[in-house]
């Protein structure tokens, strides 16, 4: 198992959680994964990363390259609709940078910049990179979330916060 992250702080968090169960590397996905051989993975999983990237296709093409012929890509993103609820825009189809404060692993909030883009930008980039979408889900919050963040639970039941997409490598496109 292998993992990459562009943030040294997030990489340290990952190392604490998984200990020595995977090889972790500091790497920005906007750069090619040159240290990974073609067709060497069955699965590429990416949790809440893709909405931080300005271009999707180059990353999806790299994921396609490192996957075995029957490989799959599974990734989660911030739901495109949630940005319109909390950071209104006059144009759903315009790709734009939005900023917000995140209180994840730090005492003080960190300013975070993400790209707001329509759902079709993800599906078109996947298709153009040699993937077909197998499944798209909008998970609802769990009971554990209700226990940990009761003030956010009710709102999360009505407004989708995340989207999970599973895609499989299409052999006739990109390699």
Q: Answer whether residue 137 is part of any domain.
A: yes
Q: Answer whether residue 157 is part of any domain.
A: yes
- What whole-number distance in Å separates Cα of residue 44 and Cα of residue 60? 10
Q: Answer whether residue 17 is part of any domain.
A: no
Q: Answer whether residue 45 is part of any domain.
A: yes
Q: Answer whether residue 27 is part of any domain.
A: no
Q: How many domains does the chain fold into?
A: 1
Mind giving me the DSSP string for 38-104? Answer: TT-EEEEEEES-GGG-S-SHHHHHHHHHHEEEEEEEEEEEE-HHHHHHHS--S-TTS-EEEEEEE-S
- The predicted pLDDT at position 133 comes to 97
Q: Answer whether residue 142 is part of any domain.
A: yes
- Mean pLDDT, 10 residues at a time, the chain of 175 residues: 86 86 90 96 96 96 96 95 84 91 79 92 97 96 91 87 94 56
Q: Which two tokens stand for residue 137?
A: 């889900």
- The predicted pLDDT at position 103 comes to 79
List all residues 6 or more positions away from 175 whose beta carbon is below 8 Å from its beta carbon. 64, 65, 130
Q: Answer whether residue 13 is part of any domain.
A: no
pTM of the entire predicted model: 0.89
CATH number at residue 124: 3.40.50.150
Question: CA 149 from chain center: how many Å?
Answer: 22
Q: Answer whether residue 174 is part of any domain.
A: no
What range defines the domain where residue 145 resides? 32-169
- The predicted pLDDT at position 175 comes to 46
Q: Pick the closest to residue 119 from 74, 144, 83, 155 (CA basis).
A: 83
- The predicted pLDDT at position 173 comes to 53
- The predicted pLDDT at position 172 comes to 60
């Amino acid at each position: 198992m292998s993992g990459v992250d562009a943030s040294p702080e997030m990489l340290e968090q990952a190392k604490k959680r998984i200990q020595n169960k995977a090889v972790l590397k500091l790497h920005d996905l906007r750069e090619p994964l040159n240290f990974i051989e073609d067709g060497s993975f069955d699965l590429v999983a990416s949790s809440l990363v893709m909405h931080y990237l300005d271009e999707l296709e180059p990353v999806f093409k790299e994921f396609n390259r490192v996957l075995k012929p029957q490989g799959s890509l599974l990734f989660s993103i911030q739901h495109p609709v949630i940005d319109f609820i909390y950071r209104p825009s006059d144009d759903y189809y315009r790709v734009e940078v939005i900023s917000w404060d995140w209180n994840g692993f730090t005492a003080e909030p960190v300013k975070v910049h993400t790209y707001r883009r329509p759902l079709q930008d993800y599906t078109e980039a996947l298709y153009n990179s040699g993937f077909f979408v197998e499944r798209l889900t909008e998970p609802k919050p769990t009971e554990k979330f209700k226990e940990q963040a009761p003030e956010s639970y009710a709102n999360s039941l009505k407004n989708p916060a995340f989207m999970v997409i599973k895609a499989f490598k299409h052999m006739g496109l990109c390699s």
